[in-house]
Amino acid sequence: MTYKKLKRIDLIFHEDCDCRQVLEKTFSKSNDEVINDILESGLKGRGGAGFPTGLKWKFTAEQPSDERFVICNADEGEPGTFKDREILFKVPSKVFSGMAVCAKVIGAKKGYIYLRGEYRFLLPQLTKALDVFHKEIKDLLDFEIIIQMGSGAYICGEESALFESMEGKRGEPRNKPPYPTIAGFRNKPTVINNVETLVYAFMICKHGPTRFKELGTSDSRGSKVFSVSGDTPIAGIYELELGMSLDHFVEEFGDGDTKAVQVGGAAGFCVPRKKFNDTIIGFEGVPTGGSMKVFNSSRSMYNVLHNYLEFFEEESCGQCTPCRVGCQQLIKGIEAVKKGEQKAAYLDQLMKLSETMKLASKCGLGQSVANSFSSIVDNFREEMIY
Amino acid sequence: MPEVQELVKSLAEKYGRKRENLLHILQGIVEQERYLSDVALTEVARELDLSAAQVYGTATFYSFLDTEPRGKYVVRVCRTISCDMKGKNRIIQAIEETLKIRLGETTQNNKFTLLETNCMGWCHEGPAMLINDQAYTNLTEEKVIEIIMDYAKE
Ligand code: SF4
Ligand code: FES
């Protein structure tokens, strides 16, 4: 197993950058060249799913249509994730610039930022920054960015639910296919990228693909913004090279008594101490949208799991039965085992239920409940019972 | 209630009367009125030529589009894991005692409503809460009482 040492990177936050200059340089290239740069860099979506960004742009550009859109997904709601807020707060013009590059290469005239309702306090500042940006690029590109507010629904971070919400409907995920690159917002070809992905795309335009590609591993190129919370003395936002071992991560961020790390938030995986050494943070190991939550020995993993399940139960859109009813049954189930109303073996039944949810749910929410459920129950079984 | 009717009309004029503008209009009403009354929802349906069920169904989907009366200041304390680990229960209790209401209730003078919410993106600085759009972090019992009292004085 090969992993990288933990290394801090500062591509996103600290580097000063004349956005207009980078845009001019980028726009002097052909659209194909820009897409090739993004492909070449190996950038994968930073929301968690990890689809190659260059391909997304390419597919959308190639889809015949009179209209295309670029959408910035700023609806991060995964418990433990707060990196996009920091990015939008600190370097908004890099986000706008990433959208502008995408707009140019796919041929979009309009872009939207779907900002979660919880971040409404950012709106005045973002609007101001956007005004400046629009003026700055007026003679470069015919492109307008509009900010659209969410209203407190985690599921709207799912891309097709986000489109539904933008169209004035309940934010319920659509059936796939068709994928957004073919029929997204208003059924037009749409690139939807999260905040961090767009900034990285822009930084790749600034530096060329090589600098990015040299970081990380063959499966997980580049660096990534992590939000670290829980039992850590240094909670916060860190930009780190991908491919580090969890061991090194805990050495740096733990409090000396770390018993588990939840990688990727409630929808992610819980890794226990004995596996820190051979767990890689990246697509070849445990992928993450950025949330790293540290638990020390004082924590009850039963409580942790219960809290996650409550979260899912509340945020399930209710469209499909495995997810809607499954979440409720998992909660009732672990409560029953804890109270001794069910035998410990009942946990295995619940594991099967979570596997069914993975197979039969329509979207990522219902599909990913099993990740935290089975990793916590597997690794901390006795805590579920006693 | 002609006032609400006027508000709905002006919002419909501002944003447009297409389905796509529904959320903007609902958000605009909540901003003014703090919640969506039946009258407001029916009025929106009429103005946008949608069925009341479509409008109601959309409104109830979103946790910030309240369909029950809310106070002038809606206090939402994060209940998700990090804030839970950092003691959100104590924070809620402190607010309950200060305002003499329970979770989900509104004070008699209609000034405060106390609710729970899911992760609001301040996990590294929990416990956290929102009062309307404003976020407050690293809360302690003393701090939260002070904040609430400041609002109460207004
Ligand atoms: S899996 Fe859950 S959230 Fe996703 S569509 Fe089904 S019910 Fe809705
Ligand atoms: S868990 Fe409370 S803000 Fe994220």
Backbone angles phi, psi at A42, to 5 degrees: 80, 15
For residue A101, the model assigns a pLDDT of 98
For ligand 2, the distance from its centroid to the CA atom of residue B122, given in whole angstroms, is 5
Q: Widest CA span of chain B, in angstroms?
A: 50
- Chain A residues with CB under 8 Å of B61 CB are 153, 170-172, 317
Report CB contact under 8 Å: B121, A82. Answer: yes
Q: Are strands A144-149 and A258-263 parallel, antiparallel or unpaired?
A: unpaired
CA distance B24 to B47: 14
Spatial CA neighbour of A281 closest among A343, A345, A351, A225: A225
Whether the predicted interface score ipTM is above 0.90: yes
For ligand 1, the distance from its centroid to the CA atom of residue A174, given in whole angstroms, is 10
Q: In sequence order, what are the residues at sequence separation of 6 or more whose Cβ sits closer than 8 angstroms to the Cβ of residue A214?
A: none
With cut-offs at 50, 70 and 90, classify the pLDDT of residue A304.
Answer: very high
Spatial CA neighbour of A337 closest among A306, A367, A314, A358: A306
For ligand 2, the distance from its centroid to the CA atom of residue A292, given in whole angstroms, is 13
For residue A1, the model assigns a pLDDT of 66
Least confident of A15-29, A68-82, B61-75: A15-29
Spatial CA neighbour of A314 closest among B25, B146, B61, B76: B61
Is-contact A178 A172, C-beta < 8 A? Answer: no
Q: In sequence order, what are the residues at sequence separation of 6 or more whose Cβ sits closer than 8 angstroms to the Cβ of residue B66?
A: B30, B34, B35, B36, B74
To test ligand 2's pocket by mutation, which of B115, B120, B137 has the most ligand atoms within 8 angstroms of CB? B120
Is-contact B113 B71, C-beta < 8 A? Answer: yes
Report CB contact under 8 Å: A230, B63. Answer: no
Tokens standing for residue A379: 């690794």
Please check whether residue A87 touches B, CB under 8 A.
no
Is-contact A49 A267, C-beta < 8 A? Answer: no
DSSP structural state of residue A266: G
For residue A96, the model assigns a pLDDT of 98
CA distance A367 to A209: 34
What is the edge-to-edge ordering of all strands in the sheet holding A190-194? A144-149, A110-115, A69-74, A190-194
Report CB contact under 8 Å: A170, B57. Answer: yes
Burial class (CB in 10 A: 0-12, 13-18, 19+), B40: buried
Q: In sequence order, what are the residues at sequence separation of 6 or more whose Cβ sits closer than 8 angstroms to the Cβ of residue B103?
A: B92, B96, B114, B115, B116
For chain A positions 128-187, those within 8 Å of chain B (CB to CB) are: 148-154, 165-172, 186
Backbone angles phi, psi at A339, to 5 degrees: -80, -5
Q: Computed from CA positions of residues A147, A150, A154, A158, in that sequence, does the dihedral angle turn out positive or negative?
A: negative
- Give residue-wise pLDDT tens across range A335-385: 999 999 999 999 999 999 999 999 999 999 999 999 999 999 999 999 999
User: What ranges make up the beta strands (E) of chain A?
Assistant: 69-74, 110-115, 144-149, 190-194, 223-230, 236-241, 258-263, 269-272, 291-296
Whether the model clears a pTM of 0.90, i.e. scores above it, the answer is yes
For residue A4, the model assigns a pLDDT of 87
Neighbours of A121 (CB within 10 A): 15
- Give residue-wise pLDDT tens across range A138-178: 999 999 999 999 999 999 999 999 999 999 999 999 999 99
Is-contact A9 A15, C-beta < 8 A? Answer: no
CA distance A242 to A263: 13
Neighbours of A345 (CB within 10 A): 8
- Give residue-wise pLDDT tens across range B97-118: 999 999 999 999 999 999 999 9
In the block, tokens 């399930």 appear at A316
Nearest chain A residue to B25 by CA distance is: A168
Which ligand ends up closest to the CA of A227? Answer: 2
With cut-offs at 50, 70 and 90, classify the pLDDT of residue A15.
Answer: low
Burial class (CB in 10 A: 0-12, 13-18, 19+), A114: buried
A230 or B2, which is more confident? A230
Please check whether residue A76 touches B, CB under 8 A.
yes
CA distance A351 to A223: 34
Tell whether the model's pLDDT for residue A89 goes beyond 60: yes
For residue A299, the model assigns a pLDDT of 98
For residue A209, the distance in angstroms to the closest alpha carbon of chain B comes to 31
Burial class (CB in 10 A: 0-12, 13-18, 19+), A317: buried
Report CB contact under 8 Å: B20, A165. Answer: no
For residue A259, the model assigns a pLDDT of 97
Neighbours of A30 (CB within 10 A): 10
Is-contact A381 A301, C-beta < 8 A? Answer: no
Residues touching ligand 2 (Cβ under 6 Å) are: A 79; B 78, 80-83, 119-123, 126, 128
Report CB contact under 8 Å: B82, A117. Answer: no
Cα–Cα separations (whole angstroms), residue A141 to A37, A100, A104, A192, B58: 20, 8, 7, 20, 36
Nearest chain B residue to A314 by CA distance is: B118
- Three-state secondary structure along A120-138? HHHHHHHHHHHHHHHHHHC
Tokens standing for residue A355: 């596997």
